[in-house]
Every structure is written in structure tokens, then in C-alpha cells.
Structure 1
Amino acid sequence: MAEQKAPREGYSEALIRLGKQNEDLVVLDADCAKSNMTNFYKDNFPNRFFNVGISECDLVGTAAGLAIAGKIPFANAYANFLTGRAYDQMRISVCYSNNNVKIVGHNAGTSAAQEGATHLPLEDISLMRSLPRMTVIVPADSLEMEKAVEAAYHFEGPVYLRVGKLPVPIVTKQEDNFEIGKAIKYRDGSDVTLISTGIMLDETFKAAEQLEQKGIKAEVLHVHTIKPIDAEAITKSAAKTKRVVTVEEHSIIGGLGSAVAEVLAEHQPTPLRRVGTNDRFGVSGKMPELLDFFQLRAERIVKTAEELIDIALVK
């Protein structure tokens, strides 16, 4: 069993480590510091932490002002409220103005779980991906989250970082190279390409193993950066396997599946199936229950890949 750790823990630890090295790093929170674990940054650097209250629009506007003043702000709030309520501020004050603000959406995807259906964002990546100049990063686990925080700090320009609340298996390795805009190939294959993002990398690994037991060789690409997406890695793999399945803990509309579909349509037309949530809102429940409810499990990935292979063989 892989060690489990909450992505927000990796996020908090990376912030503190960077804060010790860089006095221009400031952290803002919309009155969720304990849940977002930014309270630990406040404990270490009280003069570089700002709680703006439950006011996501003010959060983003203040962060933009701090960026103009030469700081590198990380603006934290629940992903559903942040990407919804403060969309206009992100559009104009951050992206249009090209300010160096890091937007951090917490409680993302099914990790919102028991906080209620309205708190469960399944469309945040879609919203952020549509913004010009916005870079969108969705780490797989706490270890990759640490790398993503550091990369976001050093990256010049707007960034959206998606952070989960609840523990998930650590499936990446310390030696894995993390570069914004570059996918990681974890497994070679010739029959189908499985492209995952975020916490679905764990289920994708399981699916690849199950497919191998059936004689199907699956290539696994992990796309931690949804935008800019690694079109070269995707088209190269698709050209080899001739079949692609995308896997995401997000709506298939506007997320990873849509991004990959756009790449393939323009550069390497390839049969594609998308595993994710299907044009619906979230529901309340425990995280494992929600993953089961939305069928975000290896079994569905395997079935989808098999159906795609069968269709191709019939043709």
C-alpha cells in the first residue's frame, strides 16, 4: 500500500520552505486558513500573511495589487467559490493585466466530499483553462504538489493551482522531473494511451496493470499541466498506440479530456474516450463513495480502453 498524505499538506510544507528563502512570497486567504493549512505559513511569517475574510473577489484584487508592488502572492480559497465568484477579478486584474498572481483552489474535486454538493467543484479547471495567460496545474499527490508550488513561485505570470484536501496515495517519486507544460510518461505501451491528471494517476496505474494482465499494453502519460498542455507528448503517444483514454476527477467538458481532444483533432486525429464526470453537479458523501458514484475507478478505465480497442478492431 502506498503512503497516503493530503495534497494540502504538501502545499503548506512547500510554502513554508519557500517563505524561508524568499521574502517576496506573501500568502492571502479567504478565512479558510485552517482548512487550507495556510495557518502554518501565518505562524512562521505573520507579517507576510493576509486574511481578507470571506470575500474571494477582494482576495484576488488584493493579490493583484501586491503583485504590482513586487510581491509574489499566493491567493487561497475554496476552489468552487474562488473560480466562480472571483472569475471577473481573475480575468481583468490578474490575466488581462498579466499580474504575477498564484491562484490556489482548495477542496478541489471530490475532496470537498462531506462539505456538501454545492462545495464540490467539477468545473474549475474548465473555467481557469479558458482564461488567456492562465497556467493551470493539477498535481497528482502531496509530493508532486510540493514541486508544483516551487515551480509556480518561479514561474512569471498567472497560475491556477488545484489542491485537494483529503489524503490520497503518494504515487509519484522524488526523482520524477517536474516541469510546467511537460507531461511525464510513466509507462510504455503500444495498444492504448491512458492520459491522466491529478489524483486519477493512482487509478490509471491500477488500470494499466489490469490491462496488462489481459494482454493489453497501455502507455501512461501524466499531464500535471493542463495549460499549456504538452501537445508533443500527446500526439507522439497517440501516433504509436492509435487509441487514447483521458482520465480526470473533473467534468469531461472543458477539462483534460477537452484539452486532449483539441490537440488530437488538430495534430493527430485519434479515437478518444473521456473518463470523468458527465455534465452534472456534485453530490454529498465521503470521498471514496464519490469516486465510486462517479465511476472514477480503474475498472471504468479498463472497460473504456477495452471498448475502444474492440471498436478499432471491428473497423
Structure 2
Amino acid sequence: MSEVTGTTWTVYDANSMTQAEVYGHVLCDIGEERDDVVGLTADLAKSTKIGLFGEKFPERFFNVGIAEQNLFGVASGMALSGLTPFVSTMAAFASMRACEQVRTDICYQNLNCKIIATHGGISFGTAGSTHNAQEDVAIMRSFPNMTVIIPADGIETANAVRACVDWDGPVYIRVGRGFEPTWYDSEEYGFQIGKAVTVSEGTDITLICCGVTVLQAAEAAKALKAEDGLSVRVLNLHTIKPLDEEAVLRAVQETRRIITFEEHTVHGGLGSAVADVIAASGKGCAFEKVGLPDAFSLVGYPEDLYAHYKLDTNGIIEKVREVMGRDFEEDEDWEDEV
């Protein structure tokens, strides 16, 4: 429990708090424990909720104005001086407007800078393509030294933010705009950077998810068991880089059918990372990536967009039934598939 700006909260209040709000409160807790932690933003203290840290530690908070490239340049200098900067801006701005500075100033020098990027994916769907971040994961995971995490909900956001403080090197944590429903009801479920979390066991098919699709896949798995008698494994692959290759290959071996779901373009994100692992293994399986197509997203409320792109529970059920209906070689002899 923590006292923050006159209020008392616990992480279990995440049911009524946005991912960004949870981040803001957790960062305040971290700031009490470590005086090397500083906060930076580019005129988005309120929107990204890092302003909570600024209110509590004004001498350790820096607003550089609407200058994202300068934001990351300043952060790199602070990291070189021994500080641990937490940088908050929208995901579209962190990954694209300041792309060169993140790559060269931070990743090239392998600096201990933590980027908490809000408004990820199409969570700010009414703002349109200028503010959507449907390419950011592909960009960030391509940078050497960068760790990429997409928490499923507010509780996992809390775990990720706490874990990243002691994780060496740059980290990119992508959260939504707000009001993403929670899946976890406790912090104690075994979160580790780089390790998948098994949401449900299954032997017929595996759904590999991250972010908002974790809850939707979990609900779909329950419905498919009740209505179709299917045993559906759901993996929360919250860390896109480094990827838990062992969990992916175990799913291929044990279920032989894999579908990935992500709030990101199907090019270069979670699905592509999983496909790389499967291809390199030489193992065959029925496989499909579900995410945003190779087109700029429609404009609309996030819930409507998730339904349109088949990222909600109904869409996931539909896709599972489609993949289960496919014919493919399903024998125990892998030799002809290497």
C-alpha cells in the first residue's frame, strides 16, 4: 500500500485505474526507494501519468516541452551520469518521432533508460493514424540491446515497471490509453521479464497473446471448451524481446496449432517473432498471425476497432474454429519437416 498525493491505494485498485495510472503510482513507490530514479516527459505529464512522480519529486522531474528528440537526448545524458531515467510519452512519438535518438543515443550506448510508452496500438483509436502506434513494436525490437514488454493489464504493468528497474539496459514498456480491463487479480502469478505466463493449459491449440488480447483469449478459451469441447492453451507472451522460445516450441510440440493475437501490425511484432522461432526450429504446425493488416487503422472507439480486427473474444473464437478446421500433416515423425 502506498501514500501518493494524498490518496491511499493498492495495486488491486487496478480494476478502476488505467495502466498509466498504475505506472505513475508504482514509479512514485520506486522513487521513494531509489534516489537515482528521475522522470522525464515532453509536455505529456498528465496524459502519461508520470506527472504523479513530478508532483511528489519535483526536483527529480523534467519536462522538456514538445521536443521528443531532445527528450531522449537529455535522458541519455542523465543515464551516462549514473541516473536511471524513466521517460514517458506516447508510443507513436517514442518509436517514430524520436526513433533516431532512441536507437543511437540510448540503444547504441546500451544505457539504463526506461521508456514507458502510453497510448499503444489503437487504444487512442479516435485520434487516428497520427497518434496510433501500430508499428512501434516492430521498430523497437529491431534495436540491439532493447527489451520490449507489453503488459496485459494494470497489475502486470506494475510488475513490469518494478522489474525493469533492476533490468540492465534500455527497456520499452508499451501500455494503452486507459480503461483496459484487468485479467489478473493478484501480482503473485510468476511474472519474469523474458518468461511467458501460461494463462490456461490446453492440448488442441495454443493462442499466444500480449496486451489487451490476453483477457480476450482467456475468455475465448473458456467459451471454446464449453461450446466446442476444445482444450485451448493461452500464453501471455508479455515480453516480445527477449522472447521465451522454449514456451513457443513446447506449444508447437504439444498442440501443433498456433495463433498469435496482437494490437499491432502483423508485420514485425509478436506474430513475426513467434514465426521466426517456429521457422528456425524446422517443426511444422498450423500457424496464423492475427493483428492489424498492412493498412492504416480505421478511426473509431477502441472496442469497435478490436471487434473489427477480430481481436475481441468473438473474433478469437471465430479464428480458432477456422484454424481447427484446416487439414495438415499431424504425425509424430518430424524428420520430413526439417
TM range (shorter): over 0.9
Pairs within 5 Å for 1:166-185: 166-172=178-184, 173-185=186-198
Count, aligned residues: 314
Amino acid in the other structure paired with 1:300: G
| Rg larger in structure | 2
What do the CA deviations read for 1:59-94 (whole angstroms, capped 9, x no partner)?
111101000000000111111111101111111111
The separation in 1 between residues aligned to 2:120 and 2:15, in whole angstroms, is 21
Q: Quote the offset at 1:276 in angstroms.
A: 0.7
Partner of 1:220: 234
Partner of 1:285: 300
Q: Does the 8 A contact of 2:85 with 2:113 survive in 1?
A: yes
The separation in 2 between residues aligned to 1:50 and 1:215, in whole angstroms, is 55
Provide structure 1 residue ranges, at least 5 long, that are not aligned to the other structure: none
The separation in 2 between residues aligned to 1:201 and 1:261, in whole angstroms, is 19
* TM-score after normalising by structure 2: 0.90
Partner of 1:263: 277
Q: Quote the offset at 1:118 in angstroms.
A: 1.6
Q: Quote the offset at 1:314 in angstroms.
A: 8.5
Corresponding residue SS for 1:118: coil
Corresponding residue SS for 1:16: helix
- Structure scoring higher RCO (CA < 8 A, sep ≥ 6) equals 1
**Do residues 207 (structure 1) and 230 (structure 2) align?**
no
Partner of 1:190: 203
The separation in 2 between residues aligned to 1:295 and 1:199, in whole angstroms, is 12
Partner of 1:272: 287
Q: Quote the offset at 1:130 in angstroms.
A: 0.6
Amino acid in the other structure paired with 1:211: L
The separation in 2 between residues aligned to 1:132 and 1:312, in whole angstroms, is 39
The separation in 1 between residues aligned to 2:314 and 2:250, in whole angstroms, is 26
Q: More helix per residue: 1 or 2? A: 1
Provide structure 2 residue ranges, at least 5 long, that are not aligned to the other structure: 1-13, 331-338
What do the CA deviations read for 1:77-122 (whole angstroms, capped 9, x no partner)?
1111111011111111111111111122111112212233321111
Q: Quote the offset at 1:203 in angstroms.
A: 0.6
Q: Does the 8 A contact of 2:73 with 2:105 survive in 1?
A: yes
Q: Percent identity?
A: 39
What do the CA deviations read for 1:246-278 (whole angstroms, capped 9, x no partner)?
011111111100000001111233221111111
Corresponding residue SS for 2:122: helix
Q: Quote the offset at 1:282 in angstroms.
A: 2.2
Amino acid in the other structure paired with 2:246: E
Partner of 1:88: 100
The separation in 1 between residues aligned to 2:172 and 2:259, in whole angstroms, is 24
Partner of 1:79: 91
**Do residues 115 (structure 1) and 127 (structure 2) align?**
yes
The separation in 2 between residues aligned to 1:269 and 1:94, in whole angstroms, is 38
**Do residues 252 (structure 1) and 258 (structure 2) align?**
no
Corresponding residue SS for 2:168: coil
The separation in 2 between residues aligned to 1:91 and 1:8, in whole angstroms, is 24
Q: Quote the offset at 1:137 in angstroms.
A: 0.4
What do the CA deviations read for 1:119-145 (whole angstroms, capped 9, x no partner)?
111111110011111000000001100
Q: Quote the offset at 1:5 in angstroms.
A: 3.2
Change in Cα spacing, 1:57 to 1:308, as seen in structure 2 (3 Å) is same
Q: Does the 8 A contact of 2:68 with 2:94 survive in 1?
A: yes
Q: Does the 8 A contact of 1:28 with 1:52 survive in 2?
A: yes
What do the CA deviations read for 1:205-230 (whole angstroms, capped 9, x no partner)?
11111211211110111001000000
**Do residues 98 (structure 1) and 110 (structure 2) align?**
yes
Partner of 1:233: 247
**Do residues 243 (structure 1) and 251 (structure 2) align?**
no
Corresponding residue SS for 2:188: coil
What do the CA deviations read for 1:7-42 (whole angstroms, capped 9, x no partner)?
111111110110111000001001000111111110
Partner of 1:61: 73
**Do residues 303 (structure 1) and 318 (structure 2) align?**
yes
Q: Quote the offset at 1:313 in angstroms.
A: 6.1
What do the CA deviations read for 1:130-162 (whole angstroms, capped 9, x no partner)?
111100000000110001001111111011110
Q: Does the 8 A contact of 1:5 with 1:141 survive in 2?
A: no
